[in-house]
Amino acid sequence: MKLIKNNEFGGERPLYCEHGLRLEDVTVHAGESALKETSDIEAVRCRFEGKYPFWCCDRFTVKNCLFTEGARAALWYSRGLLMEDTLVEAPKMFREMEDMTLHRVRIPNALETLWRCKGVVLEDVEIEKGDYLFMHSSDIRISRLKLQGNYSFQYCRNVEIRDSVMDTKDAFWETENVTVYDSVISGEYLGWYSRNLRLVNCRIGGTQPLCYAENLVMENCVLDSDADLAFEYSSVHADLRGAVTSVKNPRSGRIVADSYGEIILDANIKAPGDCEIICHLQK
């Protein structure tokens, strides 16, 4: 493997079509497409300042690096990424990616990040300003995510999330086959139009959660007091702990909780309209 160490590059495509290359303590200044159409690249303690440095790359490792705000849209159309201990200040990262793993990565400006990606693993990742995170992505495994940003995981499929804290309005809309374990999710309008959403040992906050959902399953979950008007037009099987502020017109299934502030079943309920709503003492 060729080694480039303690060097600087800039301009248009300075390392275009390189294969089998290790970069150590390298700075890529303003310019475009520094490592486009490359493979088998290792970048360690590098600084990326220019746009689109990794496009159309195969099998590359990024460790202890910095992507400044100027390195926007840095990783697109690439496969086989391992990124560790890296700070990503640039927005619109990770598009059309396959088989990527992020360990101990911080992304403080994650606007429109992780779109149309497949085969993603995140562990100990912190994301802020993550509006529209993971749009149209699939086959995702996440542990210990800290997320702030709205409209996350829309149109995603085959997702598993564990031990995470997510502050995110309109999360999990029109998703399919999503399971969340041992996590806190805060934000309005959670999980609308989802299919096969399963929440296990989770705490849920925010108004009108889990409406229009199909085959929603909740196991040992808690709804915060602001999680009102829950389950409208959903097919749901929920085992909840504590009080539920209000339930409105669930379509079918069974809801069990310790108590209810209000149960709304009005003329607008949709067929079959036979959801069983009971307290644990009635079981």
Note down pLDDT in tens along the chain; length 283 residues.
899 999 999 899 999 999 999 999 999 999 989 999 999 999 999 999 999 999 999 999 999 999 999 998 999 999 999 999 999 999 999 999 999 999 999 999 999 999 999 999 999 999 999 999 999 999 999 999 999 999 999 999 999 999 999 999 999 999 999 999 999 999 999 999 999 999 999 999 999 999 999 999 999 999 999 999 999 999 999 999 999 999 999 999 999 999 999 999 999 999 999 999 999 876 5
pLDDT of residue 283: 55
* pLDDT the model gives residue 122: 98
User: Facing residues of 127 across strands?
Assistant: 107, 147
Q: Which two tokens stand for residue 138?
A: 């699939």
In a domain, 157, yes or no: no
What residues have CB less than 8 Å from 267, skipping those under 6 apart? none
- Flag whether 266 is in a domain: yes
Is 83 a domain residue?
yes
Q: Is residue 180 part of a domain?
A: no
Q: Tell me whether residue 20 is in a domain.
A: yes
Domain boundary among 100, 116, 132: 100
CA distance 134 to 154: 7
Q: What pLDDT is recorded for position 65?
A: 98
Has residue 10 been placed in a domain? yes
Beta strands in 6-156 (DSSP E): 8-12, 19-24, 27-32, 39-44, 47-48, 54-55, 58-63, 66-67, 75-76, 79-88, 98-107, 118-123, 126-127, 138-143, 146-148
Name the domain count of the chain.
Answer: 2
User: How high is the pLDDT of residue 282?
Assistant: 66
Whether 94 is covered by a domain: the verdict is yes
pTM score: 0.95
- For 92, the domain range is 1-100
| Boundary of a domain, candidates 51, 85, 100 | 100
Q: Which of 100, 134, 162 is the last residue of a domain?
A: 100
Residue 109 lies in a domain: no
pLDDT at 71: 93
C-alpha distances (whole Å) from 223 to each of 174, 210, 215, 230 are 21, 11, 18, 9
Question: 182 near 202, Cβ under 8 Å?
Answer: yes
Written as six digits, the tokens of 276 are: 């069983």
How confident is the model at residue 1, as a pLDDT? 86
